[in-house]
Amino acid sequence: MEQRAHNGTGLAFMKMHGLGNDFVVIDARTGSDPVTPALARALGDRHRGVGFDQLAVIKPAEGADFTLDFWNSDGTRAGACGNATRCVSDWMMTQLGKDAVSLITTRGRLSAVRRADGLVSVNMGAPILDWQSVPLAREVSVEHLPIEGDPVAVGMGNPHCVFFVENAETIPVESIGPKIEHDSLFPERTNVEFASLMGPDHLRMRVWERGTGITLACGSGTCATAVAAHLRGLTGRKVLVDVDGGQLEIDWRDDGVWMTGPTMMVFEGVLSDTFLAAL
């Protein structure tokens, strides 16, 4: 696809999703990064923009195939986005004619592969389990946070607060999620997951994403939930996680937490100069 700069010819973008966790993707490998918080918010507006859970920007990288930056729909940055990483990696593999790619995110170098069954796996790296790096505001046990419901904190390049509940379906995610997102224990706010055990190595998870709200899936949140479930002795290191938009496979291996699932390239478009000029 031709890359258009924000110079009077519009701005090209792609729309992708992984299990309904949806993304606008801008390929800025050959030009300057056009994204500002104002552009992210305007583009993320589902009525007046395109709408997305996250905005991902592809940039050049040294020593890897590409760099990936993430924005939330409220105009804030995210350090990780597992589903966008899988979707963009799949597209990049097709562009580069490869079945594996490496990429740089703010948490470091990640790798992704396309499996023989067409599903895409990404190694999201080792979970972060020290309180300073999650980050938490003060020294507490990440495995038992001093919050009602006894949640677990896990960093996956972004913060997560995982609650284990009897039945995730009945939890009022829309009212509890934002309260926990803004709890003073999380100086950078947090993503919030509610998970229940469905069977041996099988979880159900619903999510409130920091900076976005309820989404149909959250890749990094699914990884964090699987890590937390293993730490709590509920599951092994390899689990299936049912989210609102489908199912992800999580495998916490020695080299990191691998997440596998489907990807979808939906459409390509061009933002008009009128839209860009109104920012």
**Residues within the interface to ligand LBFN2T5F (CB under 6 A):** 21, 53-54, 72, 78, 80-83, 158, 191, 209-212, 215, 218-220
Q: Does residue 81 have an active-site annotation? A: yes
Considering only CA atoms, which of 157, 257, 240, 156 is closest in space to residue 205?
240
Nearer of residues 6 and 69 to ligand LBFN2T5F, judged by Cβ? 69
Residue type (1 letter), 12: A
The CA distance from 186 to 207, in Å, is 17
Given 81, 87, 161, 223, the catalytic residue: 81
Sign of CA dihedral 124, 125, 131, 135: negative
Given 87, 161, 218, 223, the catalytic residue: 218
3-state DSSP call for residue 198? strand
Q: How far is the CB of 186 from ligand LBFN2T5F (least distance, A)?
A: 11
Q: How far is the CB of 52 from ligand LBFN2T5F (least distance, A)?
A: 10
Inter-residue contact 154 to 134 (CB < 8 Å): yes
Look-up: residue for tokens 């999650």? 134
| Phi, psi dihedrals of residue 267, rounded to the nearest 5° | -160, 165
Nearer of residues 39 and 218 to ligand LBFN2T5F, judged by Cβ? 218
Q: How far is the CB of 223 from ligand LBFN2T5F (least distance, A)?
A: 8
User: In sequence order, which residues have a C-beta less than 8 Å from that of residue 148 and are 6 or more positions away?
Assistant: none
Nearer of residues 6 and 216 to ligand LBFN2T5F, judged by Cβ? 216
The CA distance from 224 to 245, in Å, is 17
Report residue 242 as tokens. 């049912």
Q: How far is the CB of 37 from ligand LBFN2T5F (least distance, A)?
A: 13
Nearer of residues 6 and 210 to ligand LBFN2T5F, judged by Cβ? 210
Q: Which residues are catalytic?
A: 81, 218
